[in-house]
Chains A and B, each alone.
Chain A
Amino acid sequence: NAGVMQNPRHLVRRRGQEARLRCSPMKGHSHVYWYRQLPEEGLKFMVYLQKENIIDESGMPKERFSAEFPKEGPSILRIQQVVRGDSAAYFCASSSDSSQPQHFGDGTRLSIL
C-alpha cells in the first residue's frame, strides 16, 4: 500500500497519560500535515512539517502538543497529559510539495477515558 499510513487506528488513553500518533507519508513525499476533527466540527489544521523542520504550527495548542518529522522514520504527533477534550480523530496528510494535492491517511481515533 503506497498510501499515507497512520497507526494506531484507534487509541484509548486515561486522563493524564501520553498519546503518540504515528504517520508514514506516501513514498517520495517530504511534506507532512496534521489535522484534528472534533465531533460535530470540521477538520482543523494543526501543524505542517518538512523533514526535520516545523514550517507552520499555528494551529497547534501551545501546551501539551508537539510534533516531529525526523530524518528517518515516521512523523509523530505527541500529546502529553491528555484530557477528555483531546478525544478526536487525528488525520495526517502528505504531499510532494506545497503546490500539490495533500493525500490523507485513514486517521487515528483517540478516546480519552
Chain B
Amino acid sequence: KQEVTQIPAALSVPEGENLVLNCSFTDSAIYNLQWFRQDPGKGLTSLLLIQSSQREQTSGRLNASLDKSSGRSTLYIAASQPGDSATYLCAVTNQAGTALIFGKGTTLSVSS
C-alpha cells in the first residue's frame, strides 16, 4: 500500500531564506508526482507536476526533484516571501493513474 510522508510537518523561516521541503513514498511504481499549495479554507493549487520519467521541474522560484529509485522528492523554494506561507502537499498518482495519494503536508510560515 502506497504511503506518502512529508517532513517537516511545520517550518518557520525569515523572509529571503531558501528552503527545502521533503516528501517520501514507499512504492516507486508511480505514474507521476505533484506538489500543491493549500491556503486556509481554500482548495489546492497545483504547483508542479513531475512525470515518472522526469527528474525535475521548475517554475519561477520553485524547483521540484524526483528520485523514483529512492522514493523521494524535494520542493526547493528560493528567496522565500511572506506570501509563500501556506501548507504544501505532495501527492503521487497511483500506477493506474486514477488516484492521488497525499502526504499530510508541511505548513510553512515566512515572517517579514
Contacts and interface: CB of A to CB of B under 8 A. Distances in A.
Nearest to B34: A101
Contact of B42 (A41, A43, A55, A106): A106
Q: Is the interface of B mostly helix, strand, loop or mixed?
A: strand
B44 interface: yes
A20 B96 CA distance: 28
B112 interface: no
A55 B96 CA distance: 11
B43 A56 contact: no
A8 interface: no
A69 interface: no
Nearest to B51: A99
A91 B99 contact: no
Interface residues of B, number: 26
Interface stretch (B10-18, B67-75, B100-108): B100-108
B34 A102 contact: yes
Interface in A36-78: 41-45, 48, 55-56, 58-59
A30 to B, nearest CB: 14
Contact of B49 (A44, A55, A101, A104): A101
Contacts of A42: 4, 89, 102-105
Contacts of A13: none
A98 B101 contact: no
A56 B94 CA distance: 12
Contacts of B98: 48, 55-56, 98
Interface of B: 4, 31-32, 34, 36, 41-46, 49, 51, 89, 91, 93, 96-105
Interface of A: 4, 6, 33, 35, 41-45, 48, 55-56, 58-59, 91, 93, 98-99, 101-107
Given A43-B102, A45-B101, A102-B100, 9 more contacts: A33-B99, A43-B44, A43-B91, A58-B99, A99-B31, A99-B32, A99-B51, A103-B46, A104-B45
